[in-house]
Amino acid sequence: MEMQQVRYFLALSRELNFTRAAERCNITQPALTRAIQALEAEFGGRLFHRERNQTHLSELGRMMLPYLQSIHAQSEAARVQAKSHGRMKSIELKLSVMCTLSPAVLADFIVRFQGAHRGVELKVMDGAASQILHQLSSGERELAVLGYNDTIDDRFHALPLYKERFVAVLPMTHRLANQAELRISELHQEPYVNRINCEVFENAKREFARQGVCVRIVFRSERDDWVLGMIRSGMGWGFFPETYTFPADVAVRPLVDPEFSRTVSLITVRGRPHSSAVGAFVKAARSFPWSTASGACAAAA
């Protein structure tokens, strides 16, 4: 069965006249007749009864009508969707962002992207790195932004966007709050407020141990606002990326000797065909001034 046969059948079921149906389909009447006969041969029975100048649907034709109407409607919907896709109209783009990333830099990029691609409906969800990579692999998400220093799985392609350092965040009353920068040796035995999802914490902990520095974890939370609330109250110090938007009543100090950092990258699935919206997002990410934007956030902090 061909789509043009479906179209001819539906035209004839509306017109109930071979001449008018042929005109509607812009073909000759013999061509329409041959197409209907071929469809009847495939279905194994008459679809129309022809009685002199009167034509009407047979019982088989009435049975087939809703199915062929549905096929035609789905074909039209697919055609419209394909055209919209090519023009990037009403396209849904699913993006995952690591929950430990600050929105300060990404928000500017997303606003600029949506301003330039108003037909793309961007849906953003956050999560942990392992969860996000699973979503990408399974096809639940098309793109992801991760702050990731480990070697990424060969299934994925990483486009580095920017690099950011980690800083120590202290209560304003802390004995180290007035220093311009902090060495990790100065944090020995200092009470520490831990961000559970911090992906560089394990690396930092190993470096602390190598230098004989012990920090006392006094509070742990998956929520950065809780961690900051405990720091502000004087419970201890915290470990944050420099682009985070900090309140004015905490001290934010660079960590040195050593310095800790992470690379923030745009992740896609290697070798997977992508939509035009994904292509536009990647292209926009390549041209965005990430270093300027992340540097401005760090300076503001």
| Residue bearing tokens 């956050």 | 126
Q: How confident is the model at residue 90 (pLDDT cuts 50, 70, 90)?
A: low
Q: Give me the mean pLDDT over the 201-213 stretch.
A: 85
Residue 195 pLDDT > 60: yes
Residue 274 in any domain: the answer is: yes
Q: What pLDDT, in 10s, does the model give residues 148-168?
A: 777 777 888 999 999 889 999
User: What burial letters (b/e) apply to 231-250, b meaning 16+ CB within 10 Å?
Assistant: beeebbbbbbbbbbebeeeb
Q: What pLDDT, in 10s, does the model give residues 174-192?
A: 999 999 999 989 999 999 9
| Residue bearing tokens 């831990």 | 194
Q: Find the CATH number of the domain harbouring 229.
A: 3.40.190.290
pLDDT-above-70 percentage for the chain: 92
Residue 167 in any domain: the answer is: yes
| Residue bearing tokens 């923030």 | 264
The amino acid present at 127, given as its one-letter code, is: G
Residue 38 in any domain: the answer is: yes
SS3 129: helix
Half-sphere exposure of 35 toward its Cβ, with a 13 Å CA cutoff? 22
pLDDT of residue 160: 93
The length of the chain, given as a count of residues:
301
Q: Are residues 189 and 221 both part of a single domain?
A: yes
Question: How far, in Å, CA of 86 to CA of 183, rounded?
Answer: 54
The overall pTM is greater than 0.75: no
State which residues form the domain around 279.
Answer: 91-147+270-300
Q: Are residues 170 and 211 both part of a single domain?
A: yes
Question: How far, in Å, CA of 187 to CA of 191, rounded?
Answer: 8
Q: Give me the mean pLDDT over the 7-34 stretch.
A: 90
Residue 296 pLDDT > 70: no
Q: What pLDDT, in 10s, does the model give residues 27-36?
A: 999 999 999 9
Question: How far, in Å, CA of 150 to CA of 265, rounded?
Answer: 12
pLDDT of residue 115: 87
Q: Give me the mean pLDDT over the 124-140 stretch.
A: 86
Residue 101 pLDDT > 80: yes
Q: What pLDDT, in 10s, does the model give residues 214-273?
A: 888 999 998 889 999 999 999 999 989 888 888 899 999 998 888 888 889 999 988 877
Contact 42, 33 (CB under 8 A): no
What does the angle CA 221 – CA 148 – CA 273 come to, to the nearest 5 degrees? 120
pLDDT of residue 295: 57
Q: Which tokens sit at 237?
A: 């110090």
Q: Which of 40, 30, 32 is nearest to 1 (CA)?
A: 40
Residue 153 in any domain: the answer is: no
| Total domains in the fold of the chain | 3
